[in-house]
């Protein structure tokens, strides 16, 4: 981080990377949004965000459509993977959010596929991780938060406020609990989005730092390379787990909207 | 510009100037992905899964039916076996009864023959005995007459005969 800042400050004066003695690690550079064809970035400019989001759609479609194209009674490996993903998310929605949440299964499945493949594609060297940006995860989390809250009020009316009124607690405690519940409810989109972006950004930045050490250490390069290898396995796990966590939290919030009573 | 803003914070994530771009492309991506998934991918996978479930269910039903048929066949086989056993027993019994009846007839016939033959034998034995007795009487009479003649005793045949007969009867 400190090194990154130093490097960036240097860049302002002289755009050459060599003055910090060869150890010029820029762990945050990978997160920069760049226009694909040069020029300024306005809201519609095709950027690396566009490219990697498109690749996410392609990858998700490759698994779910191309992989499952055989429609065989006895599935191939790819078809089996597509069916297992389907079954995994379907059962998650059904078990966590209830049977009546199954109508939102396509929405939740889309969310899961996007986060999963954005995380996984981001692990490719030189890739851009769209989910490491708070702007992206915040929009996803806020969309979930607003949809679920609106849905809660549409389906339950004012009864939805029962979510904050813990009827099983002693009467004197209820206003205090209501305040806590209300704060935790509004904290949901913040934790929901920062968890994902933070996990993605931290892992990638650390990987970049270790990779930078490898080029700086010369003969001892294998130490950070081994570290990066181990870190990479961990990052693979984190990429899948964060997609899972993001999706299951969405299901939990959806359950609160469908069944607000404690 | 993006790079100068990033340089200010050190974190491209906090560069507000790229937010509109990211959000725009995110919305586009999510809409596209949602339609691809909900219109194409998910119905296909759901159809395949439903198809498979249907096939498995019907296969299990067919297996159940075959099992029932096998059970019925076994029952029929056992019944046929029992029937065959009963029929065999009946035939054996009938054969035994028939043989017994024939045997009885033969035995009765043999008994009748035996009794006829023994009656005949008895009759002949009696005849022989009678004739022997008669001969004894005649011989006795003749011997008595001869003896009397040897002793010159006057005796007519009639009285000798009577005396001998009386004696024989008494002695007998």
What is the predicted ipTM? 0.85
Handedness of CA A69, A70, A75, A76 (dihedral sign): negative
pLDDT of residue B5: 42
Report the predicted TM-score, pTM, of the whole model to 2 decimal places. 0.72
pLDDT at A11 over 80: no
**Interface with B, mutate which of A106, A142, A208 (most B CBs under 10 A):** A106
String of DSSP letters for chain A = -HHHHHHHHHHHH---S-TTTT----TTGGG---BTTSS---TT--BHHHHHHHHHHHHHHIIIIITTTT--SS--HHHHHHHHHHHHHHHHIIIII-GGGGGGHHHHHHHHHHHHHHHHHTTSTT---GGGSHHHHHHHHHHHHHHHHHHHHHHHGGGGGGGTS-TTS-GGGHHHHHHHHHHHHHHHHHHHHHHHHHHHHHHHHHHHHHHHHHHHHGGGGHHHHHHHHHHHHHHHHHHHHHHHHHHHHHHHHHHHHH----
Confidence of residue A75 (pLDDT cuts 50, 70, 90): confident
Contact of B13 with chain A, judged by CB distance below 8 Å, is answered with yes
Segment A20-42 mean pLDDT: 78
Count of helix runs (H) and strand runs (E) in chain B: 4, 0
pLDDT at B7 over 70: no
Who has greater pLDDT, A16 or A45?
A: A45
Chain length of chain A: 262
User: A219-250: per-residue pLDDT in tens?
Assistant: 788 888 888 899 999 999 999 999 999 999 99
User: B29-61: per-residue pLDDT in tens?
Assistant: 999 999 999 999 999 999 999 999 999 999 999
pLDDT of residue A7: 42
Of A95-104, A128-137, A231-240, B7-16, which gets the smallest average pLDDT?
A: B7-16
Q: What one-character DSSP code corresponds to residue B16?
A: G
pLDDT at A13 over 60: no
pLDDT at A184 over 90: yes
Domain ranges across chain B: 20-171
pLDDT of residue A112: 96
**Interface with A, mutate which of B5, B21, B54 (most A CBs under 10 A):** B21
Confidence of residue B25 (pLDDT cuts 50, 70, 90): very high
| Rounded CA separation A30/B78 (Å) | 81
How many CB atoms are located within 10 Å of the residue A192 CB? 21
pLDDT at A118 over 60: yes
Tokens linked to B12: 């491209």
Q: Which one, of A89, A106, A100, A247, lies nearest residue B43 by Cα?
A: A106
pLDDT of residue A15: 41
Q: Which residues contact A262 (CB under 8 A, 6 or more apart)?
A: A162, A163, A166, A167, A168
Element (H, E) at B10: none
Distance to chain A for B51, nearest Cα, Å: 8
pLDDT of residue B83: 96
Distance to chain B for A158, nearest Cα, Å: 31
Distance to chain B for A162, nearest Cα, Å: 32
pLDDT at B169 over 80: no
User: B105-160: per-residue pLDDT in tens?
Assistant: 999 999 999 999 999 999 999 999 999 888 888 888 888 888 888 887 776 778 87
Beta bridge partners, A35, equal A47
| Rounded CA separation A240/A58 (Å) | 18
Average pLDDT along chain A? 86
């Amino acid at each position: 981080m400190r090194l990154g800042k130093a490097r960036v400050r240097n860049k302002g004066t002289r755009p050459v990377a060599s003055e910090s003695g060869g150890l010029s690690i820029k762990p945050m550079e990978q997160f920069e949004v760049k226009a694909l064809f040069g020029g300024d970035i306005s809201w519609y400019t095709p950027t690396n965000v566009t490219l990697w989001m498109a690749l996410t759609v392609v990858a998700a479609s490759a698994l779910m459509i191309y992989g499952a194209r055989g429609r065989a009674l006895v599935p191939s490996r790819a078809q089996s993977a597509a069916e297992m993903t389907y079954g995994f998310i379907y059962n998650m929605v059904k078990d966590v959010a209830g049977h009546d949440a199954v109508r939102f299964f396509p929405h939740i499945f889309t969310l899961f596929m996007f986060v999963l493949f954005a995380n996984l594609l981001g692990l490719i060297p030189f890739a851009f991780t769209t989910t490491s940006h708070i702007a992206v995860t915040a929009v996803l989390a806020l969309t979930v938060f607003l949809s679920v809250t609106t849905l809660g009020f549409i389906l339950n009316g004012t009864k939805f406020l029962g979510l904050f009124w813990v009827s099983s607690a002693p009467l004197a405690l209820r206003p205090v609990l209501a305040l806590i519940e209300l704060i935790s409810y509004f904290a949901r989109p913040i934790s929901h989005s920062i968890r994902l972006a933070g996990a993605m950004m931290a892992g990638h930045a650390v990987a970049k730092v270790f990779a930078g050490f490898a080029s700086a250490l010369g003969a001892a390069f294998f130490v950070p390379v081994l570290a990066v290898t181990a870190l990479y396995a961990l990052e693979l796990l984190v990429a899948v787990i964060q997609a899972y966590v993001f999706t299951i939290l969405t299901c939990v919030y959806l359950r609160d909207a469908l069944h607000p009573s404690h | 510009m993006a790079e100068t803003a990033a340089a200010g914070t050190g974190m491209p994530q906090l560069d507000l100037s790229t937010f509109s771009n990211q959000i725009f492309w995110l919305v586009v991506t999510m809409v596209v992905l949602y339609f691809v998934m909900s219109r194409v991918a998910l119905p296909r996978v759901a159809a395949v899964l439903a198809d498979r479930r249907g096939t498995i269910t019907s296969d299990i039903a067919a297996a159940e039916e075959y099992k029932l048929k096998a059970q019925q066949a076994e029952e029929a086989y056992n019944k046929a076996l029992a029937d065959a056993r009963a029929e065999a027993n009946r035939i054996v019994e009938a054969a035994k009864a028939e043989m017994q009846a024939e045997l009885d007839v033969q035995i009765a016939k043999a008994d009748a023959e035996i009794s006829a033959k023994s009656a005949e034998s008895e009759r002949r034995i009696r005849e022989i005995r009678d004739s022997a007795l008669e001969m004894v009487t005649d011989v006795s009479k003749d011997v008595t007459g001869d003896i009397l003649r040897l002793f010159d005793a006057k005796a007519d045949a009639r009285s000798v005969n009577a005396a001998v007969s009386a004696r024989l009867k008494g002695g007998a």
